[in-house]
Amino acid sequence: MAEPSSVAAVAVPGFLGIGAAALIPGVDLNAVIGSWAGALFFVTWARDLSIWSRLAYLVVSWVGGYFVAAELMGRSLTKFSGLPALLAAALIVTVLISVAEWVKGGKMPSWISAALGWARHALSRPGSGGGNG
């Protein structure tokens, strides 16, 4: 179980950030809270990282989750922002790390291979070419 001081060290700044965001007009609090929850989930799950790495990932996760939810809302792909923010915040650091390792010369992440295979299959079916005819 986590020590009370370490829980407070993460929770208090988070609640202060959520409270500060509530004072800014135009900020979607559902997305702020959802992305905070997703970021906390990721940081809690990634126990083998140093405290500084976890804090950096917490911030990246929180901001990334908020912006993904805002983008989905802006494109009218979802009616609510809380759950997309939570899911995006929980996944965005893992996705970015796997892409960064691939760019540095590592192997292609399996999720990219699967997505490319699915896209190739979907586009190769008859009638899926998007022609004008």
SS3 percent helix, strand, coil of the chain, rounded to 5, is: 75, 0, 25
Residues 62/82, Cβ–Cβ less than 8 Å: no
- Lowest-pLDDT range, 9-13, 34-38, 80-84, 111-115? 9-13
Q: Is the pLDDT of residue 69 over 70?
A: yes
Beta-carbon-side half-sphere exposure of residue 25 (alpha carbons within 13 Å): 0
pLDDT band at 80 (very low <50, low <70, confident <90, very high): very high
**Per-residue pLDDT at 129:** 56
CB 96 within 8 A of CB 103: no
To the question of pTM greater than 0.75 for the whole model, the response is no
Separation CA 95–CA 87 (nearest Å): 12
Q: How confident is the model at residue 86 (pLDDT cuts 50, 70, 90)?
A: very high
Exposure string of 100-117, with b = 16+ CB inside 10 Å and e = fewer, is: eeeeeeeeebeeeeeeee
